[in-house]
Every structure is written in C-alpha cells, then in structure tokens.
Amino acid sequence: MNIVSTYTWCQFAPAFALVGLAALLILADALLPKLPKRLYAGIAALGAFVAAFFMTTGEYANLFGFIATVATGLSILLAFDYTKVCCESIAGNGNEEGTGEFYALPLVACAGILCLTQARDLVMLFVSLEVVTLTSYVLAGYFRRNQGSIEAGIKYLVLGAMSTGILVYGIAWYFGMVGSFTLSAETVYSALNGGVAGSPALAFGFLLATAMLFAGAFFKIGAAPMHVWIPDVYQGAPTPTTAFLAVASKAAGFVVLCSLILPYAPFATPGSLLGRILVTSIAIVAAATLLIGNLGAMRQTNLKRLLGYSSIGQAGFILVFFLQLQVSLEQNVYDYLLAYALATISAFFAVAMVRTQRGSEEIAAFRGLGKTNPRTAFLITVSFASLAGVPLTLGFIVKLKTFVTAVSAIQNWDNFCWLLVIMVLTAATGFYYYFKVLRSMYWEKPQPGVPALRVPLCTAIVLTLSATALIILGTLPLLMRF
C-alpha cells in the first residue's frame, strides 16, 4: 500500500490550522516588537480551544486530539499567568523580549500530536512524534537564565534522542522483516509466522523490532525502564512546559502505544505463547512503573518533582488497561487521561501561582493556604483528592476501572494476582504523598507576615472549572445507578 494514498489532506486540517497560527504568531513576534507578548498567549490559547471545539464531534472528531489540544490551550493560559517569571528567566530584568515564541511553540507540538492520532503507518508516526519531541526540547530549555531549565533541556534532549534512535532502529527492522510500514493485524500475523517463507529468523527479527518500538513508546509515557528523565525534566522545565509534558505529551505517548499494540490484539489470547509473553511483559512493566512512581514520590519535597513521580505512577495505572486488548481499550485510556489531565493541570496552575508570589515550588510554600485562601485551598484539595482516587471524584471512578480490568485479566489469564496486590499497595501510598500537600495547607500555620495569595483570573477560572468537572463527573455515575 502506498503511504500517500493512506491519508487525505482533510484529516490534517486542524493540525495545519494550528501550525499556520503558530507561524503567524512567530512572524508577528519578529515584525511587530511593540505588541505586548501576552496578546500572543491569548490568541494562541484561543486558537487551541477553537481547534478543540471542532474535535468534539463531526468530521474532525478525535478523542486524544481533544485532550491534547485542551491541555495545550491550558498550558498556554498557564504561561499567561506566569509572565512575570517568564520575563525574569528569559530576558532578565523584567524585559519581555524573546518571550513571544514560548507562547506559540506549544501549538506546533500540539499539531504533531494531532497528526500522531491519525497515523496508520510508522513513517507518519515517527515524523509526527518527532515534531512533538523536538518542540518539547526547545520548550524545556527555554528559560535560559535558569540553571534548572537548561539542565532539564539537555537531559531531555539526550535521553529523548536516545529513545528516538532505538525507535527508528526498530522501525528499520520492522520494514526489513515486513516490507512495508503499515501497522495492521495482517502484517503482524504474517511476520510472526515467518512471512511467506515461514522462516523463524524473520519472526525473531520482527520480535526484536517490536521490542524496540515499544521501548520508544514507553519512553514517551514514562514507563519503568525508560522513566529516568521524568523527575528531572519535570522539576527543571518551566512550569507551563511541565504541564504540557505531563498531559499533552503523555497523551501522545498513549496514542503511540495504542496504535502499536492494537495490531497484536488478535494474538493476545491465553492460548498462544506470544500472547502470554506480550501480556506478561506489559504486566511486569506496569508493576515496575507503579512501584517506582509511587515509592519515588513519597520522599519528595518539591511539588513539581512530586508531580513528575506521580505522573509515572498514574501511567502505571493506565498501563494496566493494556492487559485486556479489547475494543474499549482506547475509551478506557481516554477516560483515565481525562481525569488525570483535569487534576494535574490545576495542580500545575496552583504551583505556578505559589511560585510567582512566594518564590518557591516546595510543598512547604503551600503552608497555611487553608487559613489565608480557603476557597482556593478547597479547589486544590479537590484536584489532589482526585489524583489520589478519593470517592466522589472522577479519579476514583477511573481508578476503579483499572482494578476491574486487573480482576478480569486475572480471570482471563489465571495469573497476575501479584499485580493486583501491587496496585492496592501503590494506590494506598498515593494517599500518603498527595495528602502531604493538604497537610501543609490545612494543618500548618501560615507563616507570619506573608500575605494571602492573590489568585489571577485564568487560574481562578481553570481551578474552579476543573474541580467542578471532577466532582460532577465523579458523582454522576453513582447517581445514575440508583
């Protein structure tokens, strides 16, 4: 099959629109230096939300694309509230020179994610994945007057390029064994049986290629052996970029994983040896990811680093869905990502607000918020409660779904009881470290002489909306039942 005839131009219209908008904004930034940079942030965020609106239904309907565009829009809004720190860290002395691109580049990365959701072959998958990661490297290292940001950028670049190298080598071998870049159940079936000639060497080479492809996808979602970049990059990168990486880029990783793994779904039956190997290795990766993410988060004091470990842990829970390669896989992953995205984005808005006004990203900087800003403290509580999986929030419902999947996998495969034990333990540790923030807000006295936080407009709107959504979506299914 020809690569070009697989796609229509129309499929990529939202991506083209976003890239066009980003190009216009960058041009305007260069040609009209007098315009206030916050205007660009406003336009870029608006553009992302309009694109997201088109992706809800109709011709451009796109589940993961919707999450990614909304998250991009929100992280640009976050940069809008964060301009003070942006100006300090980019140009120095409060000058906003050179900050314009920081608001436009996330749109390009988002366009990459939109192409990724449409990818049906490995060339499209690779190129659009690179559009996302290359833009993310720039964004992670954008605060050039901030040591942490440069360090995060370089670490992300080296580890990311290494995973790209492994992924591309896997793609080369995939092509060598199969003769095309198409991802379909038929190609996988034929290659696993040794192709036309039925040679075991070919099947072995194909398995090697598969392993390398999965390694590349695991890097993006931060699964166990490839998670090392996450804590450092999340801590060092500018907060709006961290929010983007934590939500939009993670959604992109799960898109890649879904499109790589679904062709293997017909083999993932308890009868076949290959199916057993595949599902057992996913279970091992999920278990290791859960343990590393949740145990690592326990001893963190820096909230951005804690959220980094938390995102590893949450990816571990999402990986559990991949034990049952069924039709509802994408919907389940989407639901979990939605709950995670709402809660994580508002957590990052809170981090940015505290950083701008109290100059610190430590959990201790949240102390006494319950006394000084009770309403904001409540909204932050809802998002952390949802991340931990407290009942009556959306986080509880989606976490329940992972447990249901794990139990049905146990029945189906007659194995994996240990995974269920690990899931229960790590969910319990989640309560410990997410509630560290709540303890700091409610149990510790406010520092004398430190004024109450002034909540910026965008932060107030986003925190309120996401807390409302988390509670309504979390209680509605219970009400429907009775």
Which residues of the chain form contacts with other proteins (CB under 8 A)? 3, 122-123, 126-127, 130, 134, 137-138, 141, 144, 147-148, 150-155, 157-158, 161-162, 164-166, 168-169, 171-173, 175-176, 179-181, 231-232, 235-236, 296, 299-300, 305
Q: Which is nearer to other proteins, 153 or 370 (CB)?
A: 153
Report the candidate in 293, 311, 313, 309 with the shortest Cα–Cα distance to residue 301. Answer: 309
Q: Which is nearer to other proteins, 113 or 166 (CB)?
A: 166
Taking the complex as a whole, the smallest distance from the CB of residue 133 to other proteins amounts, in Å, to: 9
The pair phi, psi for residue 362, each rounded to 5°, is -75, 155
Spatial distance between the Cα atoms of 120 and 207, rounded to a whole number of angstroms: 20
Taking the complex as a whole, the smallest distance from the CB of residue 433 to other proteins amounts, in Å, to: 14
Q: Which is nearer to other proteins, 78 or 105 (CB)?
A: 105
Query: Any idea what DSSP says for residue 414?
Result: S
Taking the complex as a whole, the smallest distance from the CB of residue 165 to other proteins amounts, in Å, to: 3
User: 42 and 31 in contact (C-beta within 8 Å)?
Assistant: no
Taking the complex as a whole, the smallest distance from the CB of residue 338 to other proteins amounts, in Å, to: 30
Helix (H), strand (E) at residue 23: helix 13-31
Q: Which is nearer to other proteins, 151 or 444 (CB)?
A: 151
Report the candidate in 43, 92, 139, 38 with the shortest Cα–Cα distance to residue 456. Answer: 38
**What are the residues facing 182 on neighbouring strands?**
121
Spatial distance between the Cα atoms of 258 and 476, rounded to a whole number of angstroms: 28
Q: Which is nearer to other proteins, 91 or 392 (CB)?
A: 91
Q: Which is nearer to other proteins, 301 or 331 (CB)?
A: 301
Taking the complex as a whole, the smallest distance from the CB of residue 175 to other proteins amounts, in Å, to: 5
Collapsing DSSP to helix, strand or coil, 362 comes out as strand
Q: Which is nearer to other proteins, 80 or 174 (CB)?
A: 174
Taking the complex as a whole, the smallest distance from the CB of residue 179 to other proteins amounts, in Å, to: 5
CA distances from 212 to 195, 278, 453 (A): 20, 13, 48
Q: Map tokens 């305007």 to a residue.
A: 28
**Helices and strands per DSSP (H, E), number in the chain:** 21, 0
Taking the complex as a whole, the smallest distance from the CB of residue 112 to other proteins amounts, in Å, to: 12
416: left (phi over 0), alpha (psi -120 to 50) or beta: left
| Rg of the chain on CA atoms, in Å | 22
